[in-house]
Structure 1
Amino acid sequence: MAQQLNGKRVAILAADGFEEAELSSPRAALQGQGVETHVITPDGKGIRAWAETDWGKTYEADKSLADANPADYHALVLPGGVFNPDELRTNEKALGFVRSFFEAGKPVAAICHAPWILINAGVVDGRKLTSVPSIAQDLKNAGANWVDESVVVDSGFVTSRTPKDLDDFNGKLIEELAEGRHSEQHA
């Protein structure tokens, strides 16, 4: 599979308060397959992780949203946490960035609370997905078909519930990235 992923680039969009494992684990899995990853933050500055019950380390940004072009990436990863998606779901540049991946049929992977961002981006209506259970009703209200499973794939759109699902999440993310664009992926 690593040969299929050579030359691929994945954007990881996050802000302060992302759940540390939900950025570090997918990033390590992708890099282990030879995929180039870029951490993209609203202002291009480092972001501080939330590590389960307290603040974690700071992760340096590779680019700011203003400098990141969705056309340069083959997929998008959205880590969860509570603070991170709450900030990004009100950032119009972030929402436009996210929407562009759906419009281009590129894989998008979101875990935990990250689907909050997808609600505001207007891309969950009619889509099958999962998330942390506490936002299930929000997703249903936005027209999503929410299910309680470790990982759900809907035409290049990968979702999982919590860090305990990261092995499944990472595996499906890599599989969807290898498959490339999905004609059924849509905004």
Structure 2
Amino acid sequence: MRIAFLMAPRGVEQVELTRPWQAVADAGDEPVLVSTRPGRIQAFRHLDRADTFPIDVAVGDTSAASFDGLVLPGGLANPDALRMDERAVSFVRDFFDAGRPVAAICHAPWTLIEAGVVAGRVLTSFPSLRTDILNAGGTWVDEQVRVCDRASGKLITSRRPDDLKAFCEAIVTEFPKT
């Protein structure tokens, strides 16, 4: 399976990229780094610069149809930038339209809210997004990981880096094997 990891050029929380990436690779799947522009992304450890990572493909040069699932890492700046990029928002929405699984951690549900896919779903996130999720018509729960399975696709959400073990296990278990 090919799994897209979508992020902005700056601001992703490094561990929220690297741990799920490794879990996907260890499961025998192909992780693909997608961003809003070509080049490299700058990851962060909270507010401090961390490593950079090469982008495999720009979001404008691919489509959701090229992937079997989507992972949205968090960080504060990353999803905020993604929700301001219409191509990224459309890319996310297309996964739901196609019924493909999506996993989002920490602040990543901001992008889901912008894509208009939260209404009627039960999800978790970093606690500061609770009101945003409620205002978008979703139900927020304070759980390590939450799986919401609907006809429009499976959504896996998690709160924060401390929950990465459960989040990664859910991705590997819940994303279908082809």
TM-score interval, normalised by the smaller of the two chains: over 0.9
Distance 2:38 2:65 in 1: 18
The whole-number CA distance in structure 1 between the counterparts of 2:100 and 2:147 is 13
Offset of residue 53 of structure 1 = 3.9
Distance in 1 separating the partners of 2:66 and 2:97: 14
2:93 paired with 1:99:
yes
Give the structure-1-normalised TM-score: 0.90
Distance 2:89 2:137 in 1: 18
**In 1, Cα distance between the equivalents of 2:138 and 2:77?**
22
Alignment identity in percent?
Answer: 46
SS in 1 for 2:5: strand
Please name the residue that 1:75 is paired with. Answer: 69
2:16 counterpart (15, 22, 32) = 22
Residue 129 of structure 1 corresponds to which residue in structure 2? Answer: 123
Partner letter of residue 145 of structure 1? T
List gaps (5 residues or longer) in structure 1. Answer: 1-7, 181-187
Following the alignment from structure 2 to structure 1, what is the Cα–Cα distance between the partners of residues 67 and 174? 14
CA distance in 2, matches of 1:19, 1:68: 24
Q: How many Å separate the matches in 1 of 2:109 and 2:64?
A: 19
In structure 2, distance between residues paired with 1:47 and 1:53: 15
Does residue 1:142 correspond to 2:159, yes or no?
Answer: no
Find 2:30's aligned residue among 20, 33, 36: 36
Aligned equivalents of 1:42, 1:31: Cα separation in 2? 23
Is the partner of 2:175 in helix, strand or coil? helix
| Counterpart position of 1:170 | 168
Question: Deviation at 1:44?
Answer: 1.7
Aligned residue pair count: 173
Distance 2:108 2:89 in 1: 12
Equivalence for 2:80: 86
1:56 aligns with 2:50: yes
The list of structure 1 runs, each at least 4 consecutive aligned residues, that deviate by more than 4 angstroms after superposition, is none
Give the aligned CA root-mean-square deviation in angstroms. Answer: 1.0
What CA distance in whole angstroms lies between the structure 2 residues aligned with 1:58 and 1:138?
30
Displacement of 1:43 after TM fit?
A: 0.6
So what's the TM-score if we normalise by structure 2? 0.95
Q: CA deviation at 1:52?
A: 2.6
